[in-house]
Amino acid sequence: MQHSVQAVVLAAGKSTRFRTGTSKLVKHICGQELIVYPVKMLKKLGIPITLVVGYQAGDIKKVLQERVDYPINYAEQKEQRGTGHALLASQSFWQADNILVINGDMPLMTHDVIQDLINKHNSSNAAISFVTAHCNDPSVVGFGRVIEKDGITSIVEAIDFEGSFEEDCCINAGAYLIKKSFLEGHIKKLEANKPKNEFYITDLVKLASEEKLPLVMHSAPFDKVRGVNTLRELWAAEQIKRAEIITHWMYNGVSFSVAQNVHIHLDVEIGPGTYIGSGVQILRGSKIGSHCMVAAFSKIKCSTIGDNSVIHPHTLVHDSIVEDNAAVGPFAHVHENSTVKSGAKIGNFVEVRNSVIGKFSKAPHMSYLGQTQVGENVSIGAGTVTCDHDGTKLQKTHIQDCAYIGANNALVAPLTIGKASFTAAGSTITKNVPSQALAIARERQTNKLNYAPTLRADKQNPNKDSAFIPAKKTAPERHNL
Ligand code: UD1
Ligand code: CA
């Protein structure tokens, strides 16, 4: 018979061993906060959730509100007096026949392990079923160990454990399915443990065993049950998650030059045939098309890259779209809702901010394009800068189709450069340029014939190359130029 299940996630702890002053449960692994992992897993299983909060409760609730679309009841544990005490704080929410209690700090746990636990529990008459794992590595600390002694099963916490890691290698994972009737009768029988005066949920196992009630243990791979108590354990868990993500994309036709230093978040998509270079970061909310290249040390965040596009090394694309067959970088920065349209090219040391670069347009070298609408087939010369801030607010520039902006232009916004117009190199354009016009906005050049020798130190040898007068001596003469 299928019994009803509801979950209680314990998330009120102080994260003392983290030593950062913030709750570990809002820290990220592969772009997702720790607390979001168990909540999403329970959502997948369709199990109703009560979350016990206390320490930095507001931060935890905010994260869940933003990141998970699933109803959650919150119970408050006012004082942090251990996992048993945290469970007690949720008592008013207990309704189902069985209460699934899960530590909030086990991000690698998967829904299939919990489903197996539920199945085993349902097909037995256990008072408590709980997940265990095998670990005989003495450097792995912090787990309670399942000990059978004199016919009694109990969980001995790390702080009290004096046995051999080799022999007592069954650890308690921190996920328990407990009959509500047992819980109601026993939760208040828990006693405070020294030295911290805390009530342990794990003591319920001993209570059940002493009453000869059936217990079920369900063994899972250790990597799935790793808890996160310290920053080191956060790092270790993230390594595992990263490897899972990279493996997934490898099986989906994505190749990597140095897979071990690539960082890809969970909610990312990558098309087949795409190549990812060394040190690349593809973060939250990004979608990379097929047959793309994202070259070394580039970072893509909250952005979409279309099919067959190339992101050259050391390029940042944030909150933006690069369409199909486009090229960006090296050392480029495309951000603040910018779009680089199909076939367009953004070259080295170019910043594109809150701008649209039209189809087949190009800005190949050292430019800043801010608040700018660039039409199609526009060519933007090296060193062009849109002057988009008038001292108080941002102003827009429009560069219409087929315009040609000469090198080293300053385009002072607000400004419209008309269709198929030209601007001369070195111009400071402050007025709109009509369609088909040539705009020249620079000082005319004067050539002072035979003036150069007067600037040279050695006036007897006017053709001597390297003999320029030192700056200090020539200052008055230079002013005369
Ligand atoms: C716990 C288990 C241990 C198990 C390990 C698995 C106990 C006593 N020990 O130890 O047997 O091997 O998990 O990872 O349960 N919390 C509260 N309120 C509190 C204290 C903790 O809500 O007063 C929450 C924490 O936020 C955390 C979870 O309970 O999410 C587990 O607490 P933690 O202190 O990490 O337990 P461990 O020492 O890891
Ligand atoms: Ca823990």
CATH number at residue 369: 2.160.10.10
State the distance from the centre of ligand 1 to the C-alpha of 304, rounded, in angstroms. 40
The amino acid present at 121, given as its one-letter code, is H
State the distance from the centre of ligand 1 to the C-alpha of 228, rounded, in angstroms. 10
Say what the pLDDT of residue 470 is: 54
Say what the pLDDT of residue 220 is: 98
- Cβ–ligand 1 distance for 23 under 6 Å, the answer no
Q: Which ligand is nearest to the CA of 173?
A: 1
Residue 77 burial (10 A CB sphere; 0-12, 13-18, 19+): buried
State the distance from the centre of ligand 2 to the C-alpha of 230, rounded, in angstroms. 9
The answer, yes or no, to whether residue 210 has pLDDT greater than 60, is: yes
Say what the pLDDT of residue 478 is: 47
Q: Which ligand is nearest to the CA of 170?
A: 1
- Cβ–ligand 1 distance for 202 under 6 Å, the answer yes
In this structure, the residue with its CA closest to atom 35 of ligand 1 is 229
Tell me whether residue 472 is in a domain: no
Q: What's the maximum distance between 2 C-alpha atoms anywhere in the chain?
A: 112
Tell me whether residue 101 is in a domain: yes
Within 10 A of 352 (CB to CB), how many other CB atoms are there? 28
Report residue 438's pLDDT band, with 50, 70 and 90 as the boundaries.
Answer: very high
Q: Which ligand is nearest to the CA of 82?
A: 1
Same domain as 202, residue 67:
yes
Report residue 2's pLDDT band, with 50, 70 and 90 as the boundaries.
Answer: low
Say what the pLDDT of residue 481 is: 41
State the distance from the centre of ligand 2 to the C-alpha of 17, rounded, in angstroms. 10
Report residue 418's pLDDT band, with 50, 70 and 90 as the boundaries.
Answer: very high
Which of 136-145, 208-217, 252-261 has the least mean pLDDT? 136-145
Share of the chain above pLDDT 90, in %: 90
CATH code, 48: 3.90.550.10
DSSP letters for 157-214: -GGG--S-TTT--EEEEEEEEEEHHHHHHHGGG--PBTTTTB--TTHHHHHHHHTT--
State the distance from the centre of ligand 1 to the C-alpha of 175, rounded, in angstroms. 10
Which of 289-303, 327-341, 462-476 has the least mean pLDDT? 462-476
Domain boundary among 162, 194, 225: 225
Q: E strands, 394-473, where?
A: 397-399, 404-405, 410-412, 415-417, 422-423, 428-429, 438-439
Tell me whether residue 288 is in a domain: yes
- Cβ–ligand 1 distance for 171 under 6 Å, the answer yes
Rounded to an integer, what distance in angstroms lies between the CA atom of residue 100 and that of residue 104? 12
Report residue 141's pLDDT band, with 50, 70 and 90 as the boundaries.
Answer: confident
The answer, yes or no, to whether residue 160 has pLDDT greater than 80, is: yes
State the distance from the centre of ligand 1 to the C-alpha of 65, rounded, in angstroms. 23
- Cβ–ligand 1 distance for 18 under 6 Å, the answer no
Q: Which ligand is nearest to the CA of 83?
A: 1
- Cβ–ligand 1 distance for 52 under 6 Å, the answer yes
- Cβ–ligand 1 distance for 246 under 6 Å, the answer no
Nearest atom within ligand 1 for CA of residue 52: 22
Tell me the mean pLDDT in the region 165-190. Answer: 96
Closest by CA position to 222, among listed 169, 176, 260: 169
State the distance from the centre of ligand 1 to the C-alpha of 242, rounded, in angstroms. 25
- Cβ–ligand 1 distance for 86 under 6 Å, the answer yes
Say what the pLDDT of residue 456 is: 83
In this structure, the residue with its CA closest to atom 11 of ligand 1 is 144
Q: How far is CA 471 from the centre of its chain?
A: 52
Instruction: Report the chain's mean pLDDT, rounded to a whole number.
Output: 95
Tell me the mean pLDDT in the region 155-172. Answer: 92
Same domain as 298, residue 185:
no
Which of 103-112, 345-354, 436-445, 468-477 has the least mean pLDDT? 468-477
Same domain as 218, residue 303:
no
Report residue 93's pLDDT band, with 50, 70 and 90 as the boundaries.
Answer: very high
Domain boundary among 225, 245, 262: 225
- Cβ–ligand 1 distance for 225 under 6 Å, the answer no
Number of domains the chain is built from: 2
Domain boundary among 225, 260, 284: 225
Same domain as 302, residue 205:
no
Same domain as 278, residue 169:
no
Which of 355-359, 424-428, 457-461 has the least mean pLDDT? 457-461
Tell me whether residue 275 is in a domain: yes
Whole-angstrom CA distances from 140 to 133, 229, 311, 373, 469 are 12, 11, 41, 57, 72
- Cβ–ligand 1 distance for 56 under 6 Å, the answer no
Partners of 247 in beta bridges? none
Contact 329, 346 (CB under 8 A): yes
Catalytic residues: 365
- Cβ–ligand 1 distance for 80 under 6 Å, the answer yes
Tell me whether residue 460 is in a domain: no
Same domain as 248, residue 171:
no
Rounded to an integer, what distance in angstroms lies between the CA atom of residue 6 and that of residue 94? 8
Tell me whether residue 481 is in a domain: no
Rounded to an integer, what distance in angstroms lies between the CA atom of residue 335 and that of residue 82? 46
Report residue 479's pLDDT band, with 50, 70 and 90 as the boundaries.
Answer: very low
In this structure, the residue with its CA closest to atom 13 of ligand 1 is 174
Structural domain span for residue 417 = 231-439
Nearest atom within ligand 1 for CA of residue 155: 11
Which of 19, 83, 140 has the most ligand 1 atoms within 8 A of CB, as the residue to mutate?
83
The answer, yes or no, to whether residue 466 has pLDDT greater than 90, is: no
Same domain as 208, residue 59:
yes
State the distance from the centre of ligand 2 to the C-alpha of 105, rounded, in angstroms. 6
Rounded to an integer, what distance in angstroms lies between the CA atom of residue 186 and that of residue 197? 18
User: pTM (2 decimals)?
Assistant: 0.91
Say what the pLDDT of residue 1 is: 45
The answer, yes or no, to whether residue 165 has pLDDT greater than 90, is: no
Say what the pLDDT of residue 471 is: 52
Tell me whether residue 435 is in a domain: yes
Query: Which has more confidence, 472 or 184?
Result: 184
Nearest atom within ligand 1 for CA of residue 171: 12
The answer, yes or no, to whether residue 464 has pLDDT greater than 70, is: no
Same domain as 73, residue 141:
yes
Partners of 106 in beta bridges? none
Half-sphere exposure of 456 (CA within 13 A, CB side): 14
Say what the pLDDT of residue 298 is: 98
Q: Which ligand is nearest to the CA of 34?
A: 1
Tell me whether residue 259 is in a domain: yes
- Cβ–ligand 1 distance for 230 under 6 Å, the answer no
Tokens, residue 188: 């208040």
Instruction: Please tell me whether residue 43 adopts helix, strand or coil conformation.
Output: helix
Rounded to an integer, what distance in angstroms lies between the CA atom of residue 467 and that of residue 444? 28
Same domain as 239, residue 220:
no
For strands 293-294 and 362-365, give the pairing: unpaired
Same domain as 260, residue 115:
no
Partners of 6 in beta bridges? 99
Same domain as 237, residue 298:
yes
Which of 24, 53, 88, 103 has the most ligand 1 atoms within 8 A of CB, as the residue to mutate?
103
Same domain as 294, residue 257:
yes
Rounded to an integer, what distance in angstroms lies between the CA atom of residue 129 and that of residue 121? 6
Rounded to an integer, what distance in angstroms lies between the CA atom of residue 88 and that of residue 184? 9
Instruction: List, in order, residues 6 or more apart from 358 with CB less than 8 Å away.
Output: 341, 344, 373, 374, 375, 376, 377, 378, 401
The answer, yes or no, to whether residue 296 has pLDDT greater than 90, is: yes
- Cβ–ligand 1 distance for 102 under 6 Å, the answer no
Closest by CA position to 35, among listed 202, 234, 264: 234
Instruction: Please tell me whether residue 236 adopts helix, strand or coil conformation.
Output: helix
